[in-house]
């Protein structure tokens, strides 16, 4: 697992203290409506440099939509997102990488998928080959390098997607339920990789349904329900003494399937 460590050593010393970490990304009054449905609304959020923010919430709460908004894939209908202090523009994804809930694989081999992502980010020649090999090893997919990516098993695809995102060395990593279909060992390994990336300075935003995972990884927690921010704050407070009923219910496993959203 030394791969990520070697991948990013630049920032590894200055793991930044939570309190004084500068905001890397800020959302103010963020909302998103599609065809008259208000999917996300009134979200105020600060993602601090070098911190791990875990997004929690029931199915359909708007977690994936929120990640898309932060990543600049969906236009905000209301409010703004600042990335490194500037509104999201054409370069919204510079320095970011996202792993989607449902990994999208090009119709190419595993290796070609990695190479494509690296090429796009400007890696060439031996450097690209090195990073691709490292990513393969990281994902435990060396033996499948030449297999078409789309015939991989669900978990293998998920691992490839994570490795592909990490390989380009992003500053901000957006992960949408990255371990949902991983076996326990792979989950542990990916968590370790996320920890290493974090240690080397990568800022992480991650969606999960796994309470244990949230507890293991989160510095900050954001809890969404019905498209709104039910509660947010440091993991230590939020996960142990939540203020909102929603979070309390979720932690108890009582927060059942969401009720119909109130229409706008």
Partner 1 sequence: MSLVAGWDQALSEIVLLSLQVTLSAVFVSCLIGLPLGAMVGAFRFPGRRPAILIMNVLMGLPPVVVGLMVYLMLSASGPMGVLGLLYTPTAMIIAQTVLVTPIVAALSRQVVEDLHQEYSEQFTSMGVGPLQRIMALLWDARFSLLTVVLAGFGRAVAEVGAVMIVGGNINHVTRVMTTAIALETSKGDLELALALGLVLLLIALLVNLVVMTVRGTAARASYA
Ligand X SMILES: Nc1ncnc2c1ncn2[C@@H]1O[C@H](COP(=O)(O)OP(=O)(O)OP(=O)(O)O)[C@@H](O)[C@H]1O
Name the 3-class secondary structure at 213: helix
Q: Is 6 in the site for Mg ion (CB under 5 A)?
A: no
* CB closer to ligand X out of 46 and 179: 179
Residue with tokens 């991989």: 152
Q: What residue 188 binds from partner 1, its own copies, Mg ion, none (CB within 5 to 8 A, per partner kind)?
A: its own copies
Residue 169: CB minimum distance to ligand X, A: 26
Site string for ligand X, 134-163 (x = CB under 6 A): ----------x--x---xxxxxx-------
Q: Which of 41, 52, 63, 71 binds partner 1 (CB under 8 A)?
A: 71
CA distance 212 to 178: 14
CA distance 260 to 250: 17
CA–CA distance from 260 to each of 8, 31, 40, 241, 256 (Å)?
Answer: 45, 18, 14, 27, 12
# residues contacting Mg ion (CB under 5 A)? 5
# residues contacting its own copies (CB under 8 A)? 50
Q: What residue 255 binds from Mg ion, partner 1, its own copies, none (CB within 5 to 8 A, per partner kind)?
A: its own copies
CA–CA distance from 156 to each of 96, 115, 152, 180 (Å)?
Answer: 22, 17, 6, 12
Residue with tokens 């979070």: 247
Site string for ligand X, 46-85 (x = CB under 6 A): -----------x-xxxxxxx--------------------
Q: Is 179 in the site for Mg ion (CB under 5 A)?
A: no
CA distance 209 to 200: 25
Site string for its own copies, 105-144 (x = CB under 8 A): ----------------------------------xx-xxx
# residues contacting ligand X (CB under 6 A)? 22
Q: Is 84 in the site for partner 1 (CB under 8 A)?
A: no
- Pairing of the two strands 23-34 and 37-48: antiparallel
Identify residues 11-40 at the interface with partner 1 (CB under 8 A): 35
Identify residues 101-140 at the interface with partner 1 (CB under 8 A): 104, 106-109, 116-117, 119-121
CA–CA distance from 54 to each of 82, 125, 218 (Å)?
Answer: 19, 36, 5
Q: Which of 148, 155, 233, 234 binds partner 1 (CB under 8 A)?
A: 148
CA distance 151 to 129: 23
Residues 6 or more apart in contact with residue 71 via CB below 8 angstroms? 92, 93, 96, 98, 174
**Long-range CB pairs of 239-244, under 8 A, 24+ apart, other chains included:** 239/211, 239/214, 239/215
Binding interface with partner 1 (CB under 8 A): 35, 68, 71-73, 93-94, 96-98, 100, 104, 106-109, 116-117, 119-121, 146, 148, 168
Binding region for ligand X (CB under 6 A): 34, 37, 39, 57, 59-65, 101, 144, 147, 151-156, 181, 183
């Amino acid at each position: 697992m030394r791969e990520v460590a070697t991948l990013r050593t630049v920032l590894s010393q200055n793991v930044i203290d939570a309190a004084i970490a500068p905001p890397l990304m800020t959302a103010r009054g963020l909302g998103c409506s599609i065809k008259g449905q208000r999917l996300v609304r009134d979200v105020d959020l600060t993602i601090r440099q070098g911190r791990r923010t875990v997004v929690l919430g029931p199915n359909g709460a708007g977690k994936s939509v929120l990640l898309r908004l932060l990543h600049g894939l969906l236009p905000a209908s209301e409010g703004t997102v600042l990335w490194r202090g500037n509104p999201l523009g054409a370069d919204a994804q510079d320095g970011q990488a996202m792993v989607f809930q449902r990994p999208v694989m090009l119709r190419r081999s595993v290796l070609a998928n990695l190479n494509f992502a690296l090429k796009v980010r400007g890696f060439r020649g031996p450097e690209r080959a090195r990073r691709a090999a490292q990513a393969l090893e990281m994902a435990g997919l060396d033996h499948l390098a030449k297999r078409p990516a789309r015939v991989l098993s669900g978990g293998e695809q998920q691992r490839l997607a994570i490795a592909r995102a990490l390989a380009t060395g992003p500053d901000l990593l957006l992960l949408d339920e990255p371990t949902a279909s991983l076996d326990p060992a792979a989950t542990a390994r990916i968590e370790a990789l996320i920890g290493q990336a974090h240690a080397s300075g990568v800022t992480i935003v991650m969606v999960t349904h796994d309470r244990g995972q949230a507890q293991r990884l989160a510095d900050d927690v954001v809890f969404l329900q019905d498209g709104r921010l039910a509660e947010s704050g440091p993991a230590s407070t939020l996960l142990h003494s939540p203020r909102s009923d929603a979070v309390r219910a979720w932690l108890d496993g009582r927060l059942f399937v969401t009720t119909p959203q109130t229409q706008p």
